[in-house]
């Protein structure tokens, strides 16, 4: 028997559903509820998960426990995207039956990246279905001619927003890979709400997951982001998918960074580097060299540092600028650095180094649009601020790294041996690091290793 449609109120911030309107949601957001109609189903098909086993007749059969040892792993059956940096972030390629979500700012290159991958997979493995709810077939063809060259007969384009029609074509074509661009433009007839609403995004995501899991086809969906860079729509979609990728970069520079926020089939520490050009996105194999190519030597407020991302060390440039504040309240702004981390470093400089920064505006930037994880760049950020404050350049051809504690002491950082090898390869002559890390390199002659135990001791190396 068909169920009667019900009226529910859904929070646009977290996706929480309530039978009545609430001024404040359980997540803390105010006035975030919107009214939506939820229609009933004639059967229980929507309650079935995409991971249920399907028999040859198409009926869902109940699962039975099996020994984990007897389950076949899909690790050796990944699909190569043809883009080494993309494969690196995914953990080795696309896993069959997986649901991957990629997000990023408009115009950053998401559609270009997935179209390049789709073209290679169509040439190598078979049929690929590219579903677009934002562009027409002609627009996609113009981009494909520019970045892909000769197109395969196995690459199919579908300009559609109805989920029912998309799934019908999916079953008819039986592709080895499907792309949906974007999930916010899709809608299902079972709901009365507009495309992009919380319930539409959630139900369309669930339908794609069910189709991909049952057929063993990897599905990649594109999602929009908010002004603050957060994923638009309900948070349940992030929990539903297997992999969440973020595509970042500054539009003023050609460098683009792909990072895995969630990955059930690999690590979340890997990053992929690309350079945007006329022929599309090109992988950047030597990222450290690219980031340090334009660094000016002997410049105040400019410090080289090192972080370890995934399986490779990266040499970065940290820039800082201090200037007397014209108003009564000092300003703190940062690009690529957590503003809370910047405030903590500033407080440690004032307390344990005797530097008065209360009347100074501080601006900080990680060159290249990189947003490094971890705390190994703390000391470099502090020395960049100090260098700009006293208007004296830091030591040339030197890499500075170390984590700063609230007591003013320096804590050790991991993977310093690989960082030292990368610094030696790029021609750096000196590395300033925490004393505990420097003890392992007592017999090393090149580059010169200088160990420091406190932030005050490190600042004396500048003057």
Residue 193 pLDDT: 82
In this structure, the strands spanning 53-54 and 60-61 are: antiparallel
Print the SS3 string covering the chain. Answer: CCCCCEEEEEECCCCCEECCCCCECCCCCECCEEEEEECCCCCCHHHCCCCCEECCCCCEECCCCCCHHHCCCCHHHCECCCCHHHHHHHCCCECCCCEEEEEECCCCCHHHHHHHHHHHHHHHCCCEEEEECCCCHHHHHHHHHHHCCCCCCCEEEEECCEHHHHHHHHHHHCCCEEEEECHHHCECCCECCCCCCHHHHHHHHHHHHHHHHHHCCCEEEEECECCCCCECCCCHHHHHCCEEEEEEECCCCCEEEEEEEEECCCCCCCEEEEEEECCEEEECCCHHHHHHCCCCCCCCCEEEEEEEECCEEEEEEEEEEEEECCCCCCCEEEECCCHHHHHHHHHHHHHHCCCCCCCEEEEEEECCCCCCCCCCCHHHHHHHHHHHHHCCCCCCCEEECCEECCCCEEECCCCHHHHHHHHHHCCCCEEEEEHHHHHHHCCCCCCEEEEECEHHHHHCCCC
Sign, CA dihedral 384-385-388-393, equals negative
Residue 277 pLDDT: 84
> Tens-of-pLDDT digits for all 463 residues of the chain?
445 567 778 777 777 788 888 888 888 888 778 777 665 554 444 444 444 444 443 344 456 788 888 777 656 689 999 999 999 999 999 999 999 999 988 888 898 999 999 999 999 999 999 999 988 999 999 989 988 888 899 999 999 999 999 999 999 999 999 999 989 899 998 888 888 888 888 889 999 999 999 999 999 999 888 766 677 666 778 888 999 999 887 777 788 889 898 999 888 878 899 998 888 889 888 888 888 888 888 899 999 999 988 778 999 999 999 999 987 788 999 988 999 999 999 999 999 999 999 899 999 999 877 888 889 999 999 999 999 999 999 999 999 999 999 999 999 999 999 999 999 999 999 999 999 999 999 888 889 999 999 999 999 988 7
Give dist(CA 82, CA 166) in Å, integer: 26
C-beta of residue 357 within 8 angstroms of C-beta of residue 307: no
CB proximity list for 227: less than 8 A, separation 6 or greater: none
Q: pTM value?
A: 0.77
220-260 pLDDT, tens digit per residue, is 999 888 766 677 666 778 888 999 999 887 777 788 889 89
C-beta of residue 445 within 8 angstroms of C-beta of residue 411: no
User: 414-424 burial, b if ≥16 CB within 10 A, otherwise e?
Assistant: ebbeebbebbe
């Amino acid at each position: 028997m068909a169920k009667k449609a019900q009226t529910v109120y859904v929070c646009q911030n977290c996706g929480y559903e309530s039978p009545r309107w609430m001024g404040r949601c359980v997540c803390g957001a105010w006035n975030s509820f919107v009214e939506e109609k939820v229609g009933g189903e004639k059967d229980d098909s929507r309650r079935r998960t995409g991971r249920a086993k399907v028999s040859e007749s198409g009926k869902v059969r109940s699962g039975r426990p099996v020994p984990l040892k007897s389950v076949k792993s899909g690790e050796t059956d990944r699909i190569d995207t043809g883009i080494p940096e993309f494969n690196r972030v995914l953990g080795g390629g696309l896993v069959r039956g997986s649901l991957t979500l990629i997000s990023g700012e408009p115009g950053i290159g998401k559609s270009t990246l997935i179209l390049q991958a789709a073209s290679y997979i169509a040439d190598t493995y078979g049929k690929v279905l590219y579903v677009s709810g934002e562009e027409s077939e002609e627009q996609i063809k113009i981009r494909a001619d520019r970045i892909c060259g000769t197109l395969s007969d196995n690459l199919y384009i579908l300009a559609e927003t109805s989920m029912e029609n998309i799934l019908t074509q999916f079953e008819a074509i039986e592709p080895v890979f499907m792309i949906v661009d974007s999930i916010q433009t899709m809608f299902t007839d079972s709901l009365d709400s507009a495309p992009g609403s919380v319930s539409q995004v959630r139900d369309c995501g669930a339908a794609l997951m069910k189709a991909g899991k049952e057929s063993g086809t990897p599905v990649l969906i594109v999602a929009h982001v908010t002004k603050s860079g957060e994923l638009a729509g309900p948070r349940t979609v992030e929990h539903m998918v297997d992999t969440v990728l973020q595509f970042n970069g500054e539009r003023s520079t050609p460098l683009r960074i792909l990072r895995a926020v969630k990955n059930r089939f690999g690590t979340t520490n890997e990053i992929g580097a690309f350079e945007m050009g006329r022929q599309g996105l090109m992988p950047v194999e030597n990222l450290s060299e690219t980031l340090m190519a334009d660094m000016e030597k002997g410049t105040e407020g400019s410090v080289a540092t090192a972080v370890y991302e995934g399986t490779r060390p990266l040499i970065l440039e940290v820039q800082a600028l201090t200037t007397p504040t014209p108003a009564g309240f000092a300003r703190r702004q940062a690009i690529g650095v957590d503003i809370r981390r910047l405030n903590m470093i500033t407080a440690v400089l004032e307390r344990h180094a005797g530097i008065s920064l209360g009347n100074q505006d501080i601006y900080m930037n990680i060159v290249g649009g990189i947003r490094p994880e971890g705390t190994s760049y703390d000391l470099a950020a502090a020395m960049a601020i100090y260098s700009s404050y006293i208007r004296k350049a830091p030591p040339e051809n030197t890499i500075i790294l170390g984590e700063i504690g609230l007591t003013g002491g320096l804590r050790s950082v991991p993977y310093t041996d690989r960082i030292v090898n990368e610094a030696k390869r790029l021609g750096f002559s000196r590395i300033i690091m925490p004393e505990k890390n420097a003890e392992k390199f007592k017999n090393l002659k090149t580059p010169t290793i200088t160990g420091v135990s406190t932030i005050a001791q490190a600042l004396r190396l500048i003057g």
